[in-house]
Amino acid sequence: MEKNNLEIKPLSKRLEMVASFVPRGAKLLDVGSDHAYLPIHLINLGQITEAIAGEVVKGPYTSALSNVAESGLADRIQVRLANGLAAFGKKDKVTVITIAGMGGRLIADILESGKEKLENIDRLILQPNNREDDLRRWLQANQLKIITETLLRENGKYYEVLVVEKGHMTLSEKDFRFGPYLRKEGSEVFVEKWRGELDKLNDALKCIPENRQQDRSVLLQKIEMIQGVLDVS
Ligand code: SAM
């Protein structure tokens, strides 16, 4: 049977959320594209017409190449073996960069290593798996502004998606940790996530002997910060 090249494979809820912030007509660079599902999906949807899928590791790079070829989009998606932002140059006219499924520190390191290239980028869509606070700190220090954020739960895990453009922001310690928009919105998922963290920290506290005051006070500070944000004690 002939393959239907235009078949739209369902994306994970997480990548679907990242995709939803890519503006129509963007020239996309997806850093750490792995399987290249995100650019394939966006082109199949008709949301964008061209993309670069960047990968630094040979295995995922090969998998991106074969998925792109199988989907019949090799003329629209260039798969490049490259480290972070080295995957594109000026002539590529990239307008939007997505970086998803990595730790917040790694995302910040990738951006730091090529930050002079961010000058001509209209939007970054970042989905850190952890250390979101470090990523927000890096963004603020580099004249980048979060314009919206979202939090979702999939398969028992929580994922934050940060949509970033050029600009200045001044975040508080709570904003760095909880997200300026997420914290204000206080959605059901947000409360569920931080209640879960609170339970874990309270359990951890029970295991720390009374004589280890310094360890206890670090945990207590974290607990109090979450309680303050959730408005519970
Ligand atoms: N972005 C996809 C997603 O969200 O489903 C794949 C996430 S996968 C867990 C992370 C990918 O990033 C891996 O394939 C890894 O090889 C790639 N990666 C890590 N550091 C990178 C870098 N500096 N430049 C390009 N790719 C990188």
Indicate which residue's Cα is closest to atom 12 of ligand 1.
32
| Distance between CA atoms of residues 148 and 150, nearest Å | 7
DSSP reduced 3-state for 17: helix
Interval 23-80: pLDDT, tens? 999 999 999 999 999 999 999 999 999 999 999 999 999 999 999 999 999 999 999 9
Name the residue of 18, 34, 62 to mutate for ligand 1: max ligand atoms within 8 A of Cβ.
34
Written as six digits, the tokens of 164 are: 């970033």
pLDDT band at 10 (very low <50, low <70, confident <90, very high): confident
Q: 208 near 219, Cβ under 8 Å?
A: yes
Q: Which residues, at least 6 apart from 136, have a Cβ–Cβ distance to it below 8 Å?
A: 146, 162, 171, 175, 176, 179
The pLDDT assigned to 233 comes to: 62
CA 221, distance to chain mean position in Å, is 27
pTM beyond 0.85: the answer is yes
C-alpha of residue 184 to centroid of ligand 1, in Å? 30
Query: Could you tell me if the CB of 56 is within 6 A of ligand 1?
Result: yes
Confidence of residue 232 (pLDDT cuts 50, 70, 90): confident
201-213 burial, b for 16+ CB within 10 Å, e for fewer? beeeeeebeeeee
Rounded to the nearest angstrom, the distance between the alpha carbon of 31 and the centre of ligand 1 is 7
Mean pLDDT value of segment 8-29: 93
Provide the 8-state DSSP code for 11: P
Q: Report the C-alpha gap between 6 and 45 in whole angstroms.
A: 9
> Backbone phi, then psi, for 151, in 5-degree steps?
-130, 135
Task: Give the position, in ligand 1's atom list, of the atom nearest the Cα of 83.
Answer: 24
Reduced to 3 states (helix: H, G, I; strand: E, B; else coil), residue 147 is strand
| Mean of all residue pLDDT scores within the chain | 95
Any ligand 1 atom below 6 A from CB of 84:
yes
Nearest CA to ligand 1 atom 3: 101
Q: Is 157 helix (H, G, I), strand (E, B) or coil?
A: strand
* Nearest residue to 20 (alpha-carbon basis) of 110, 148, 180, 165: 148
DSSP state of 32: T
Identify which of 138, 105, 122 has the alpha carbon closest to the alpha carbon of residue 24: 122
Q: What is the pLDDT of residues 168-192, one digit of tens each?
A: 999 999 999 999 999 999 999 999 9
Cβ–ligand 1 distance for 34 under 6 Å, the answer yes
Residue 186, C-beta contacts closer than 8 angstroms, at least 6 positions apart: none
Residue nearest to atom 5 of ligand 1 (CA): 101
Query: Which atom of ligand 1 lies nearest, measured to the CA of 127?
Result: 4
Q: Is 85 in the pocket of ligand 1 (CB under 6 A)?
A: no
- For tokens 């998925």, the residue is 67
Six-digit token pair at 100? 């998803």
User: What digits encode the pLDDT tens for the residues 92-121?
Assistant: 999 999 999 999 999 999 999 999 999 999
Which of 13, 37, 57, 115 most suits a substitution to test ligand 1, by most atoms within 8 Å of the C-beta? 57
Confidence band, pLDDT 50/70/90 cuts, at residue 4: very low
